[in-house]
Each structure stands twice: as C-alpha cells, then as structure tokens.
Structure 1
Amino acid sequence: MSDTTQVATEVGSKVKTSKQTVDRYFSSIGWKPFPFQRSVWRAYLDGNSGLVHSATGTGKTLAVWMGPILKWLEENPDPSKWNPKRPPACRVLWITPLRALAGDTEASLRAPIDGLGLPWQLESRTGDSKQSAKTRQLKKLPTALVTTPESLSLMLTHEKLLDQLANVESVIVDEWHELLGTKRGIQTELALARLRKLNPNLRTWGVSATLGNLPEAMESLVGVEPVGPTCIVEGYKKKRLKLESIVPAMIERFPWSGHIGTKMVPQVVERLEQVNSALIFANTRSQTEIWYQHLLKHRPDWAGKIALHHGSLDTSVRRWVEDALRDGSLRAVVCTSSLDLGVDFTAVDLVFQIGSPKGAARLLQRAGRSGHQPDAESRLAFVPTNALELVELAAAQDAIRSGHLEARPLLNKPLDVLAQHTVTIAIGGGFDSIELLNEVRTCRSYQSLSEQEWQWVLDFVVQGGSSLEAYPEFHRVEIVDGRHQVSLRRTITMHRMNIGTIVSDASMKVKYLKGKTLGSAEERFLSKLNSGDKFLFAGKLVSLVRVKDNVAYVRRATGAPDSVPRWMGGRMPLSSELSAALRKKLEEAANGKLIGREMKSLKRLFAIQSRWSKLPRSNQLLIEKIETRGGHQLFLFPFEGRLVHEGLAALLAYRISRSQKTTFTMACNDYGIVLQSPHQVDIEKLAAQKLFSTENLVGDILDSMNSTEMAKRQFRQIARVAGLIHPGYPGQRKSASHVQASSNLFFDVFCEYDPDNLLLQQSRREVLEFQLESHRMFDALDRIENSEIVVTKPPKITPLSFPLLVDKLRESVSSETLADRIRRMQQQLETAADNVA
C-alpha cells in the first residue's frame, strides 16, 4: 500500500467515525438526520461555503452547526485527549440578526456540544453581554461565539483580536433573509469581506427561510469572488401547513380599517380555548397593546395566562414572557415581529395573524412559529381587520402554493455604511487604501464602486470632505507613511460607542414613579402628553406624572385611555408579489370564480361592487367618479400598496394641476387613491394625454412633493451612520430635536457649499427608493399605461371606495365623531344596497 493510499484510508476512517458519532447523538435524542442536513455536512467538509434554504422549524440550525463539529471530530478523533480546561481556539462565529435571539441560539448550539461531550467553549457577545465577559474575550475568544453584526464590527476595531479572527474556520449567518437588503446586511457583508481577507480559506454559511431571490442572497453572503466552491442547499421548502380564516358571521359590504379587528375578539377567544399555547401576531406595537386589553376584558380570568411582547418593552419583561412560553405556562402571547425569528417555542401549537401580513413570505414565516419541528404541522388562523383583507389572504395562499415568495431588493453601495466601516478598519490596525478598495469590491453591494467614489469616502473620513476640512473634529483618520489609521482616543471611543446602522426615532424610558422600568416609547409621542394623560403601555393603563432626564415617569391608572403610543415604522407596505396576486384574485371574482372560503364569503360585497361600478381585471385600471357633499371625488385602484400610492397620489395631483387649475385633498390605502377637488376633472381626457406616463417620472416626483424636507429627514440617518453626528454618551443622550438640528445644519451647509456631496445624493436616492418606492411606481405606471382605463360613475360610494373615503375623513373629524359618522354612512349604504338587491 502506498503512503498516499494509507493516508486516504486513515482520513476516510476518521470521517466515517465522526459521522457515526453524530448519528449516535441524533439517535439519542430520537431524531434521524435529514438528507439535506447530510448534504450540508458533506459540502462543509469539502470546503464549501453556501446558503441553506429551508422552511421554518425544519432543522436548519443543526444542518449548518454540525459541519464545524464534524470537522473538529475528524481532526480530534480520540476523546481521551480532549481537555475541557483547555478548549480549542476560536473556530466558529455565529451571527444572529437580533441580540435578543443570542440566548436562545446559544442554548440550541450548546445541546450538541454537551450531548457529544465536546471540550468546546461557547459564549455570546452582544450589547447585552456583561463588560467582564467582553474584557475576557478580548484576551481569548471562545471556541464558538454568538454575536451580532454590530458586535462583530466592534471586534474588528480591536487589533489584538485580529490574529484570533484570522484563525476562525467558519462564519455562520443566521436568518440571512432578515439582514439581506438592509444596511445591517451591508455592514455584515463588509465584516465578512474583512474576515475573508484575514483568512482566505474561511467558510461562510448562511441560514435562510422564505426567500425569493436565492442567487442574489448567496452572492451577497459569500462575495462576488469566493475563493472556494459554493452551493445552495434546499431543505424543506413546503413544510406541512394549515391556514384557516376566522371569517366574521356577517361580512360588512362597506368595510373600513380603524376598529383594528377587535370585533373578532370573541371568535379568537373561542379558538384559544381549544389550544394549549398560541402566538397572536399583530402588525404594529399599538395593535398588540389594544388586542391584549380587549382579550383581558373579554376573559379577565386569563390575567397572568396571557402576555404582551414587543420591541419597546423592557428586556427583563420580554425574557420572562419567552421563558413562560417555553415552559408552557402561558396560554397566549400578543406580539409583533419581535417573536418572528429564531426563538424556538415548541409549546406553541397555533399562530394567529391579526390583519394582513402584507406578504406571503411573512405569513409563511409567522406560521412556522407553530409546530416548530420538522415533522409537525404549522397552523395559522387569519383574523381580518376588514373584509377586503380576506382577498389578501386568498392571494397569499395562492402565492405560497405556487412558490412565488417575495424577493428582497438589495441595496447598492450606501456610502454612509462604507464610511463607518472604513473608520472601523482604520482603528483596527489601519489599512492601505488600494488593498481595502479591492477588499470592499468583493462585496456584492460595492462591486461597482468607482475609484472616484472611494477617494471621496477617504477624503470624507480623513478631513471631513471639501466643506468640513477646517474643523479638526472631522479629521478622524490619519495617513502615516501611506497607511490610514486612527490614533486619537476620543475618536476611537466615539466610534466604538456609535457603531451600527439602526437609526430609530429618539425614545424615552417609561418608568413607574416608584418601581421598575416598563420599556421605552417614542419621544414624539410622549412629548405631546400632558401630566395626568392616560395611555396603554406594556399591557397596563398608566398616567403620565412628569418627564425628567429623558425618562417618562408614570403611575398606575384606572378608567379609559386617552391614547395609545404610536410607534413609527409600523406601516408595512404590500409587497409587489402580493399586489400582483391580489389583482389576479379580483379578476377571478370579476369572471365569477370565487375560489376558496375567503373569496366565497365576499360574494355579497363583490355583487354590490359589480352592480354599482366594476370589479377590475388585472389588465385594467378602475377609476370611479363620485360627487359628494365634499366635492368631486376620483377613486383610482392600482392595487400596488400604500407606499406606491402615496407617491402616485402626489404625482397625479401635480400633473392634473398643470393642466387644470384646481386643488386636491387626498388619501390612500393599499388598494387605491382618492383625490378630492372642488372642480370636476376630465380624467378620461387627461389619461389620453399621458397622465400615467413614465416620462420624466423622477423629475415630476421631486416637483410634486416636498422632496427637500424628505431628504433632510433621510439625511439625519445617513449623517448618524457616517459619523457626522453622535447621539451622545450613555446616560447623556442628546434630544431628538438637538440631533435633528445638527443634521439639518450639515444638510444646509452641504447644499450651499458642497452640492456634489455624495451623502446628499444618497439621501435623495434613498427617499426615492425607500420612502416612495420609485422603482415600483415606475413599474406601476408602465403597467397602467399599457392597461385599459375603465371609468365608472357609481350612484353611491362603492365597497372599494368606502375605506378610502373614511381615511380622508380622518383628517378633519375627531375619532369619536368619525366612528359615529362611519356607522351612519355604512347603515345608509347597506340599506341602499338591500333596496337595489
């Protein structure tokens, strides 16, 4: 036998032995590895990087985690030589998108380590970690470290850690679909590029579910020039799923959004009584507070058996809820996306979705929180907040069945994130500009970064750019012997304190006058309250006592609330995929095909819409012209989602006003737009004159809206990420107005003295892309321009136009008066519909 053959035989024997060890572990816990898990292990052992795509709760974690364990077992086959007191050096970095998930992730990863008796050391490093642990880790990293994108970037500022990071064998990014297409995802891409620079043989693996654009996701994860082989491993794409709708006994033919579906509380309670444990997902934090109170009001004996969970609650409260869910002591938790990811609650056997999830992928993700085991059935009950949302559910079910899940649109070279990363690398040992440029270009987001753009970023971090070079505080990076580095202690401290890309609205702690912290609410909400005002928070009714030192002190209250906190960012847009599926379902209804329980329940609503106006087909744009006491109303139904409609409303009003002198008030929802004018508008003539043209779209958008003010608001986030402004030291945070004033000052200075500033250009581009979804607006106008324009003149407000009319009335009518007025309008329309029938 040759030496080569003997070595190959020994290696094969080790591989076989390590796999047998892992198989025995699976057998000991009553499981058997799935084929896709074995595929990942083989790929890992062969040196591959890759992306694992599988449904929620089908074993993705063990698929990627056992690869590094198998490789170590191959290298260390003799357990007698394992020494727990001398754990192996750092081999694996596990990146989780949320620090709240770190504890659960660590528990999941620890189970195989303990089960196999490995001498590995497993720890977490996030913003919640104790300072003593962070200090210890600066000297020696554990064998496996669970961390976040922000903490990983922070580690890269410590030059003493670079040698250890250079020996890391693999990086695993959990829930990659949540990071993809965000600035935190870009921050992760840049950090991965640095780690691959330190170790060219680094294996990079991602874990994802419910994702439509896998090749792009893969390239963003492993880079555009991966050193080794790469692969996408598909697991269980279609886990057993049971979706049901809790359909109201009486469908309102003239629905509106505003009562937040709480009429459905009795039906939800009835379903809750039939299960052991459930998650009740709402789309906003405000909804969770309201639903929690209504459930308790209906079943006061459930106090202590149901709980509340959202991102603004104090960490200790959220952890208590999560632990109680695990041990099965809670019947239900009303939550937002704070429980969407990663956390493994096998006790949950039913998920409720309150209102439309606005996307098929999100619906699938949330359904997967129940039956969180590969062989279990995931069950979700949908609770509509108005009748038309039943069409959305029917459309989402079609999209899931056909596998048309939403793609995550990707970002293209955001320079604020790159500027922050450049300072990070300058602190962590420094860099050569050409070498770092080549490294950055391996990221998908920056592969087209030009030398001019790179030079601008360097000038910005070295001297503050052309307009700030006279101010030493913006000279963050120095050039010493041709190498970029940072030596000023203050610069290093400030940068480390503010690493990250999440820029939220300023918030205040909400705390009992004598007692514990409840959580945090946005400053803009609390600043409008007077002493004594009552509001719902953390599932309790409290009244404001005073605001002092950025803390809102409250006491328990009785009676009815004056308000509920409204957190920004709660409006999820309807996805383009779901919009298309929604138009298809309406076309089926127009053709008399009502498929499924949801669509059949809307038969009476569709009948009135068809009789008074029309149900549009997917190649038609329906426009309803209705004259009311308020004026001439134009209702347009593109079915493209609220964000697109907000931009379209302003654009169309602007274009009409150029041809006809008039003024408009407007409102929009996910389905359509209403434009009200004191004058009649010849919409047919204007449509023939290219009202819906894509020509000069960007220019008209910018002219039709207060784009400068929108860009100023967006610039605030960019300025914070790029390091121009700082929120302040811990315990000494600057107020929102102070930070806003600072960013506005920079914005105005750049506009006047540095109009070609690339951060200014980025803020305008992000307004178009993020706030107005200009690419979707272009696609919508292109579709409409090639569609049939159908104009009707209904005798009454139709089922499709009614919710838009309600949204417009909100601007001028108080909430109590509005509710009464809506009920009267509904009653009149229902009577008219019955008379016609």
Structure 2
Amino acid sequence: MNREQLFSIASGWFEGKGWKPFPFQTQTWTAFLQGKHGLLNAPTGSGKTYALWMPIVLDYIKSNPDYKTKHKPGLKAIWITPLRALSVEIKQAAERVADDLQTHLTVGIRTGDTSSSERTKQKKKMPDLLITTPESMQLMLASKDYPKMFKSCRAIIIDEWHELLGTKRGVQVELALSRLKTITPKMRIWGISATIGNLQQAMEVLLGPESEALQNSTLIRAHINKKINVHSIIPEKMDAYPWRGHMGLHLVDEVADIIKKSKTTLVFTNVRSACEIWYQALLDKHPEFAGEIAMHHGSIAKETRLWVEQAIREERLKAVVCTSSLDLGVDFAPVETVIQVGGPKGVARFLQRAGRSGHRPGQESNVYFLATHAIELVEASALRRAVQETVVEDRIPYLNSWDVLVQYLVTLAVSDGFYPAAIFKEVKSTFCFQAMTEDDWQFCLNFISKGSQSLQAYDEYKKVEIEEDGKFKVNSRAIALRHRMQMGTIVGDAVMSVKFFGGGYLGSIEEWFISKLKPGDVFIFAGRKLELVRVKNMEALVRRAAPGAKAVHASWMGGRMTLSAQMSELLREELYTANTPEKNPELKALNPVFTRQRKESIVPDDNQFLIETFKTREGYHAIFYPFEGRYVHEALASLMAYRISLLSPITFSLAYNDYGFELLSDQEIDMQMVLDNDLFTPRHLHADLQQSLNATEMARRKFRDIAVIAGLVFTGYPGKIVKTKHLQSSSQLIFEVFRDYEPDNLLFQQAYRETFEHQLEEGRLLMALERIERQEVVWKQCEKPTPFSFPIITDRLREKLSSETLAERIKKMTANYMK
C-alpha cells in the first residue's frame, strides 16, 4: 500500500468521527511512515495521542496487506507514560483506532497496578501494543530472554517527555532506549512533549547526542494557539500588611460562586495539606456541596482516585480539589474552569493546569488565580504575561547519574547477563553518560562485582559474578528478588498505610507525621476526621472521630515549591512596573500595599537592589530582596551570614520566602561595612557555600536517595518496609566509610554534586549575584517592618505559634505598624 492509500484510511476514520486531522497530525504520520524518529511538541487536549497511534497502526497495515484476515502476533509498539493514571485513556485511544480499522491488534497495559496473572499471560504472549511506565520497562529488561520479547517492536513512544527530562526517571528511559536500539535497530523512537524552553535539547537527550537516530529525526510543532483566559480573584479589601497565613480562605465564597457557575471545576492547590484544608473549608461554608465535590491527591487510596476521575468524566461532580496528581494528561472533557490557589511557582505548571479546562481542540481555557496573600497578585499578573508571550522554562537534563547506571547494570545482570565492552558503547551513546571515561566505567563494574574498594570485605555488596567468558551475571535468586523489588528512581519518605481498625484502606501518609501523634489524637485525612488507635507494622489504624473533636490537618514533607528561574524573572519585571502609571488590575489592587511600602521604604526599580533594616522586640532585622525564589534565598541567606561573620563575630537566625530573606540578630549589623566589603561578589562562591551551609549534612541526606537507587541499602519487603530512620542511619554509615576511606568514590561525589547543582541551584545563585553586582544597592533604615518584609517575619512566627494565636498576633502587629 502506498502513502496515499494509507492516508485515505486514516482520513476516513477521522471523518467517521466527525473530525478533521490537524496539519501537525498528518506531518507526524508522514515522518513516521518515512522511518524517521522525532519529537512532537503539542499542548494538552490537541489530539497528540492520535498523531502517533494512527501511524503505528498504518505501518502495521502497510507491512501486512491481509491485516483484516491474517493477524501477525508479537509486540509492535511500546508507549511509555510517566503516570499510571494515564494508561487507561491511552489504551482506549489505541483500541478505538485498532478496532475500528479491523486490524485485530491487541492492546495491553503493564504498570505497577497490573496483576501478576496478567503479567504471566503477557510473558507467554505479548500484546501487539503495550502501554507501560519507565519502571515497568526496566522490569521487562530484568526478565530472562528479554531480547526475544522486543525483537518485533517497530516503535517506542515516550509520552510527556518534558516531565521525565531533568529527572532520574528520564535517565532510566535513556538507558532503556540505548539497549533497545541494539536489539531492534529498525525501531522508531518518538517523544511527545508539552512546551518547554529547550525543545531541541530535549530531542537530543531522547535520541542520543551523536546518534544515527538524531541525524534522521524531525521536530514537529503543533501551531495551535489555544486561548487561555487568566482571571485574578481580587479581594474587595486589601491588607496593607500582607501575610501568607490565611491561605486565601477568606475568599472561599468567591470560589464557591465560580464553582456554581461552571459545569465542572478543578481547584488546584500546590500541596496535599492545602488540598485537605480547602476541601474542608468549602464543605463547612457551603454544606450544599456535599456529594458534589471530591478531593484527589497522591496519598488517597487508588480506588478512591479512580472513582473521582470517572465521576469527573461522567459529570457527576461539580468540583474536585486536587494537587499535581491531576496535572498531567487525564482527559476530562467536561471541565470548564480551573482555579489555581496560590502561585504555581512555574509557567509550565500553570499552563499544564490551565489546559485541563476546555480540554478539546479549539476550546478556550478559563483559569482563575487566587492569591493566598497580597503580593502573590504580582505572580498572577506575571503569569498572564507569560501566557501571552509563551515564556516557558527549560528542563535541565541530568549528567553522570552513577546511581541509575549501577542499578541498570545489575538489571541487565539479573536477566541474561551482559558483556561490558558491548554495553559500554551503548551507555556512552546516551546524553547522560556521554562524558563517561574508561575509569568511571571500571568503577561501576567493580562496584557491582566487588562492592567498591572500601566495601570489599562485605559479601552483600558483591551482587554480580564474572563468569569465565567475561560475562557479568547475577546467579543468586535472593539478590535478583531484592533487586527487582527495589527498582526505580523515585525515593520518598517512608509512608504508612492509613486503615480503619475494622478494615478498609484510606490511603497513605508519611511516617514523620504519624510519629508526632499519640493514640487518641485526631487528624483530618482524605476529608474525614480520624482518631489514631495505634500504629502497627507501618500501618496507622484509625477510627472515625467524634464530630466536635479538635483535629490537626495531615501534612506532608514535600511542603514548599520554589519559583522557577523564568518565573522569578517575570515576577521582578512585573514588580518593577509598580512605579509606572500603566498598571494592570492586579497591581492597581495592590495600591494600599505599595503606598504603605513607599511610606516606610521604596518599591525598587529594575536597577535597584533593596536592603531594609529595622529593630523590633525580637532583635535587629536585615532583609534583602533578590526576588529569586525560596531555594536560592536559602543558600544566599547562609552565604551572607557566613561572609558577615568573617568580618565580625555574630549569630543569626535565618528566614526566607520567594521574595527575599532575613538575617535576625541580637546585635546590629554594620550594613555600611557589608557594602564596603563587596559581600555580594560571585567570587569564591563555591568555597564559601561549602563553608556556610552544612554542605556535608545536605550531601548526607542526598546520599540516602543515591544509596537506595544504587542498591546499597534495602528498603524492605512488602508489609515489612524499613523505617526511614534505619535507612538514614545505614546510608550515613556507608557515607562516612566513603568519606574516610574512599573520597573519590563516584556515588559519594555525586551526593555533593547533586546538592550544589539541584538543591542549592548554584548556577542560578551565581547569576543572581552577578545581577546584584550590576544594580545600585539601596539600603533603607526603617522605623518599623514594611509590607514587603511582613510575610517573611510572619512566616518565622508560624514555626512557634498555632494558627489561631498567629492570626491574633498578626492583627495586633498590623494595628501597631499602621499607627
């Protein structure tokens, strides 16, 4: 069959559905059928799934003209998705095409949720089209005779590639692809990505920097200008002294009004605890929503989540309060409106969430931004501009993730074993390991076979045996079992199941939260008031609490996100316009804040860097405003405290948020000395950072995750999970052994590198200091705290006071400062 005949089959199918293919879809079909690899850049809800399922099916029809009567069994295509929740919809899309065109192609799913009986069935007979996750893909590489399973595979699609890029799961995918390219050289590799800043690099990472695939590839962009309407929910009265404490809950009635006017609304919060609090607040204030609103986050039981997703599709729910668990690809056509509570901290995340509404080609998206404190309105106006100008973040790929490589090599050794010379070439062809030397490779081989230089005396680290012909192979069934159980790169804190005493699973919660409660304490989780009965074997057994019982909201560690580099730049630019007459509605609404700020200090321009100092009963405050995001400020605060202490001995307590940081001391800082000594210099940054932060402590924490991924510590069997503190102490022991006896160990060095590159964002820090050096430093000696400093001060108070007493304290402080 020629291309015209194949295209008429596809166009006929689209016409039958009342659709017309978009140009980007036909472009993708053409490139795929020409044997090209590529990356498709398309927004959510634009039909990108059919852009690739269709040519996969057409390619089968082309190679099998008698497809309606003769079926050729065997795996033909793999679709990798980062989220299990998406697999059902991807399967439905594939089945629609395969069944309507009478191809007899079978479609299967293989994820962590797939039953063992289904997996056994798949082992005997693979489905033609398989939907899986990066982790399950690695498990397939760990099974005996895996090349046989993949040899007939003609295509592999990596969905939501922007989500995997810049994570260790992305590195897993790179390694799996390097293997599959050798086993099935005719396989086409395609990625699907939403908009990111570095699309060209994203394709290079996917296909390999100097690969033949990259030479024969194409980048296809879907030029669909989806209209996104950004509305801010502006409170009638604006506090001159803004603070983060009330989480925007005073606007609960405005949110309820939006929900009532829409068919279905998704209310996005940034963290799970806020999700629980907002769900409760909406129900308390508007009991008529009972049965019409639900909650969705990653810690709620899977059955409940699936029920909520289905109820949205069937339009049985008016609203769902959710977290990033509904960010990606779940196709909810009925969703009309999205409400974002608090700054999403990144443009890409905001666009992703906005795209959940009007999730159909040609429909507009409506997103409402609810600021949890006044200054967040600046973020709202920055986001509106980002949406108009499509300014999106880059995703920075990982380099030299030795922990992932070590895990991958053991995976290959668990299945059929491997010969180092062949695998070295494949690994070196990936983006992540392109700079790997022979010595690095030798370290990894020694590590899995001898347990590295300093652990040679312990047999448990000698996982892989070297056979006579030089093949690396795992022959111990116990080692293979433990390895298969611990594969993956997502390392979280130990979680406990929350179960009713009489049976019934509610979800999971982090061990550290439960460890703070004692039997009889009441907490709110999954929208219910629960009383802790007892803790047994990593299970929190609970019963329903009495209705009037005082309860705390469940909270999670991954609490606070930070502004992305692009977002902080947009925020600064937006804030600098506060001094111009041309202001948008958000900045106009902030007039009371700006007026008060100017009375006590200034609102900085783009060429000014503001420092404020004042004294309260707590001590002497020095507040700096780089507007660079929480993580950069955390590092900057430590750096400045260290550099000042070199000039004169002084002790500080530090506080920071996305806008600035505070140094609080019981003695006054000589700010003129700080300015004269050029303490904002980028010179000696790395050495000073190492001195100022407890870099060793941070690297130690980072090493725990590396140790788990590399298989140095074992996280436990199902139902017998090793507690976080035990994992921490085991990995700390190994960390100290490496530090004292093997400082050039690659995993040990990786812990420090990741601390500086990913956690402290050293590159961004350097750029921030270079920018500050070019600006005029304006130091204002204030009589009292300013509106800009207020959120930072109240954030520190939150650590000490309960929310009720905090609100009262802030009321008094505000009244005092307004005098």
State TM-score, norm by structure 1: 0.96
| Structure 1 match to 2:261 | 274
For residue 813 of structure 1, report the CA deviation from its aligned partner: 3.5
Correspondence for 2:116:
131
Distance apart, 1:794 and its partner CA: 2.5
1:669 aligns with 2:657: yes
Deviations for 1:364-421, whole angstroms, at most 9, x for unmatched residues?
Answer: 1000011111111111111110111110111122122222101112211110001001
Partner letter of residue 236 of structure 1? H
Match of 2:154 in 1: 169
Q: Which residue of 2 aligns with 1:566?
A: 555
C-alpha RMSD of the superposition:
1.4
- State the one-letter code of the partner of 2:660: G
Partner of 1:424: 411
2:7 is equivalent to residue 19 of structure 1 = yes
In the alignment, structure 1 residue 467 sits paired with structure 2 residue 454:
yes
Aligned to 1:659: 647
Alignment of 1:493-642 (within 5 A): 493-557=481-545, 558-594=547-583, 596-642=584-630
Alignment pair present for 1:190 and 2:175:
yes
1:253 Cα deviation after fit: 1.7
For 1:363-378, what aligned pairs fall within 5 Å after superposition? 363-378=350-365
| Residues 18 and 77 in structure 1, CA contact (< 8 A), matched pair in contact too | no
1:143 aligns with 2:128: yes
Match of 2:431 in 1: 444
SS across alignment from 1:369: coil
In 2, Cα distance between equivalents of 1:415 and 1:770: 15
Moved over 6 A (4+): none
Q: In structure 2, what is the Cα distance between the partners aligned to 1:521 and 1:80?
A: 51
Q: Which residue in the other structure is 1:766 paired with?
A: 754
- Shift, 1:560, TM fit: 4.8
Q: Distance in 2 between matches of 1:344 and 1:646?
A: 38
1:120 aligns with 2:108: no
Residue 39, structure 1, aligned to residue 22, structure 2? no
Q: Say whether 1:340 aligns with 2:327.
A: yes
How far apart, CA to CA, are the structure 1 residues paired with 2:559 and 2:46?
Answer: 29
Give the whole-Å Cα distance in 2 for the aligned partners of 1:115 and 1:298.
Answer: 49
- Alpha-carbon distance in 1 for matches of 2:471, 2:34: 37
The alpha-carbon deviation at position 140 of structure 1 amounts to 2.2
Once the two structures are overlaid, the 10-residue window that deviates more, 810-819 or 386-395, is: 810-819
Deviation at 1:68, TM superposition (A): 0.7
Q: Which amino acid aligns with 2:381?
A: A
User: How far did residue 593 of structure 1 move?
Assistant: 3.0
Do structure 1's residue 200 and structure 2's residue 185 form an aligned pair?
Answer: yes
Moved more, 375-384 or 144-153: 375-384
Partner of 1:792: 780
1:248 matched to which residue of 2? 235
In the aligned structure 1, how far is the partner of 2:177 from the partner of 2:549? 51
> How far did residue 679 of structure 1 move?
1.6
The question of whether the paired residues in 1 share the 8 Å contact of 2:68 and 2:104 is answered with no
- Measured in 2, the distance between the counterparts of 1:315 and 1:772 equals 34
Partners of 2:378 and 2:586 within 8 A in 1:
yes
CA contact (8 A) 1:53 1:237 kept: no
- One-letter amino acid matched to 1:592: P
Are the structure 2 counterparts of residues 157 and 80 from structure 1 closer, same or farther at C-alpha, using a change threshold of 3 Å?
closer
**Alpha-carbon separation, structure 2, partners of 1:140 and 1:216:** 37
Q: Do the aligned residues in 1 keep the contact of 2:80 with 2:159 (CA within 8 Å)?
A: yes
Tell me whether 1:217 sits opposite 2:202 in the alignment: yes
Q: Write the distance in 1 (CA, Å) between the matches of 2:777 and 2:498.
A: 52
Deviation at 1:676, TM superposition (A): 1.1
Residue 561 (structure 1) shift: 4.2
The answer to whether the Cα contact below 8 Å between 2:85 and 2:330 also exists between their aligned partners in 1 is no
Is the 1:246–1:382 contact (alpha carbons within 8 Å) kept by the matching residues of 2? yes
Query: Counterpart of 1:7?
Result: none
Deviation at 1:104, TM superposition (A): 2.4
1:826 aligns with 2:814: yes
Q: Which runs of 5+ in 2 are unaligned?
A: none
Aligned to 1:809: 797
Asked whether the 8 Å contact 1:94–1:147 carries over to 2, the reply is yes
CA contact (8 A) 2:529 2:551 kept: no
Q: CA deviation at 1:139?
A: 2.0
Distance in 2 (CA, whole Å) between partners of 1:734 and 1:508 is: 11
Task: Letter of the 2:699 partner, please give it.
Answer: A
Q: What CA deviation, in whole Å up to 9, does each residue of 1:53-76 have, x standing for no partner?
A: 111111111112111112112223
Structure 2 letter corresponding to 1:45: L
AA in 2 matched with 1:133: E
| Alpha-carbon separation, structure 1, partners of 2:669 and 2:307 | 58
Q: Whole-Å Cα distance in 1 between the matches of residues 581 and 677 of structure 2?
A: 34
Q: CA deviation at 1:685?
A: 2.6
| TM-score, normalisation: structure 2 | 0.98
Secondary structure in structure 1 of the residue aligned to 2:226: coil
Of the candidates 145, 169, 187, which is equivalent to residue 160 of structure 1?
Answer: 145
**Structure 1 counterpart of 2:103, one-letter code:** L
Q: Per the alignment, do residues 621 and 560 of structure 1 end up closer, same or farther by CA in structure 2, a change over 3 Å counting?
A: farther
Distance 2:116 2:4 in 1: 42
DSSP 3-state at the match of 1:710: helix
Query: Alpha-carbon deviations, 1:515-563, whole Å to 9, x = none?
Result: 3110000000001101111111001111111101111011111225432
2:678 aligned partner: 690
Q: Give the CA deviation at 1:783.
A: 1.2
How far is the alpha carbon of 1:248 from its aligned partner? Answer: 0.7
For each residue in 1:647-699, what CA deviation from the matched residue of structure 2 results, as whole angstroms up to 9, or x when unmatched? 11111111101102211112000000111112221223312312111122122
Write the distance in 2 (CA, Å) between the matches of 1:465 and 1:823.
60
Counterpart of 2:137 in structure 1: which amino acid?
L
The answer to whether the 8 A contact 2:68-2:103 is kept is: no
SS in 1 for 2:90: helix
Structure 1, unmatched stretches of 5+, are 1-10, 833-837
How far apart in 2 are the matches of 1:328 and 1:426? 49
- Report SS of the residue matched to 1:510: strand
Q: Secondary structure at the match of 2:277?
A: helix
Query: SS of the residue aligned with 1:349?
Result: strand
Amino acid at match of 1:130: S
SS at match of 2:295: strand
SS at match of 2:453: coil
Post-superposition Cα deviations, 1:17-68, rounded to whole Å, max 9, x if no partner, equal: 2211111111111110000110000000111111111111111111121111
Q: Hey, what's the Cα distance between the residues in 1 that align with 2:432 and 2:462?
A: 26
* 8 A contact 2:46–2:361 mirrored in 1: yes
Does the 8 Å CA contact 1:138/1:161 hold for their aligned counterparts? no
Given that 2:269 and 2:323 are in contact with CA atoms closer than 8 Å, whether structure 1 keeps it comes out as yes
Structure 2 residue matching 1:446: 3-state secondary structure: coil
* Alpha-carbon distance between aligned partners in 1 of 2:61 and 2:696, rounded to the nearest angstrom: 60
- Provide the C-alpha distance between the structure 2 equivalents of 1:770 and 1:561, rounded to a whole number of angstroms: 40
1:265 deviates by 0.6
Between 725-734 and 168-177, the greater mean CA deviation after superposition: 725-734
For 2:68 and 2:53, locate their aligned partners in 1 and report how far apart those are by CA, in whole Å: 23
Between the aligned partners of 2:156 and 2:748, the Cα distance in structure 1 is 35
Q: Does 1:403 align with 2:390?
A: yes
What residue in structure 1 maps to residue 381 of structure 2?
A: 394
Q: Which one is further off, 553-562 or 170-179? A: 553-562
Contact in 2 for aligned 1:286/1:564 (Cα 8 Å) = yes
